[in-house]
Every structure is written in structure tokens, then in C-alpha cells.
Amino acid sequence: MKLRHLFLAVLCFALLSGCQKAEEPSRFIMPDVVVAVSPFTQPAQTSDLLSGFIPEGQKEISAKKLAELDTLFHSKLHSGKHKFVFLSQADIDGPMAKDERGRRNALVTWAERARRAGADMIVVPHIIMLQERVGGEAGAVSAAAVNEDFYLIDARKPYTLLQRTHFSEEQQALASDLTKIGAFFRRGGKWISDIELAAEGMDKAVEEMGL
């Protein structure tokens, strides 16, 4: 009887998850707009941030992992839908730009980088934290976790932060949180890697921003 009740509860959550209304994609990006895409970067100090905060005890993410994230994100963008300009690390190196008051400003910095690339807008992916899975797909000692943000900035004056997509998650066992039933089935009932989890945040950004 208890097993039957558990099955019914799981089925209800699955149905509810499937019936949730998808968020409408952004209409900020028009067909004739050129969109620059920055490489993934990890903000290390408050002045690097466009919003949010840096968690205590933040661990540095390797250049190899950042490159993996870049390759995966680029593969998810619909090149037939928008004209993208992919920036390299060299394109974003250098000191931060300053605002009218002479203060270092992340928004101005990213907008000016977009303008130098001949773009009207820029997508800026920030990876705040990336935790690797310890264990395998069948069972993990420590689950993968990610904290990432995607920003859409209008680089035409006045520079404007148009949209932010935030994704922060640590994979949990289904028994710990039945509200994640949809994600459980989508992930094939396995413990996924940190890159696979970060990819879910990318999908969310692509959908919400209309990329």
C-alpha cells in the first residue's frame, strides 16, 4: 500500500512538472542585431560582477573546464536565428573600463568589448562555482553542483543590462526532493557530471533569451 502511495505521488509530480507553462523567450534580440558572445569567465572580485555576490571559499575553475563550457555553449546557439560574434580570451583581456565617475564598471566594460567586435549586444556567461561529481553515474559520494549567470547587455548607448538568467543547483537524490521528478527522468535517473549540469543552465538561458 505504501509503495502504491509513493508511486501515485511520483506520478502526480511528473504530471505537474509537465504541465508547467514554459517561460516566454526574450524579444530583445531582433533579427538584424549582431550579438557578441563572451567566453565563460569566473568573477573573482566584486567589481567583476554584474549582479549577485561571490560565495565565501570560492574555488578557482581551471582553464580546461572553462574551454569545455565555451565549446558546449556555442554548440547550443542557433546560428541561423541570429548573427553571433564569438569573442576569444584575447578579445576580453585588459583592464576594466570606467564609468563617467571614473569607477571601474563591469557593464561599461562588457558593452565596450561588444562595440569593439562590431556587435550591438553581448551575452556574458559567468560561472561562479563548478563542483565535480565524486563517484559514478550509478552512485555518487558527492554530487555535481553549479552556480552560473548569463547576462544580455545592450551595447548601444545608453548601455543597458537587459536580462539575467540565473542557474544554481546541486543534484539531489529523488527521495530527498520529489519536486525534481522531471529533472530525474530528464537525466535518465543517473548522477550527471558538472559539465552536464552546467549545460542545463545553458539551455535555460538559450530558451529565456531567445538565443
Q: Of all helices (H) and strands (E), which one includes residue 127?
A: strand 121-131
3-state secondary structure of 72: helix
- Convert the pLDDT of each residue in 125-171 to its tens digit: 999 999 987 776 666 667 889 999 999 999 999 999 999 999 999 88
Q: Which three cell numbers stand for residue 175?
A: 527521495
Q: Which three cell numbers stand for residue 165?
A: 538568467
Q: How far apart are CA 211 and CA 208, in angstroms?
A: 8
DSSP 123: E
- Pairing relationship of beta strands 121-131 and 34-37 according to DSSP bridges: parallel
Q: Which three cell numbers stand for residue 52?
A: 549577485
pTM (predicted TM-score):
0.83
Q: Which of 63-67, 136-140, 191-195 has the highest mean pLDDT?
A: 63-67
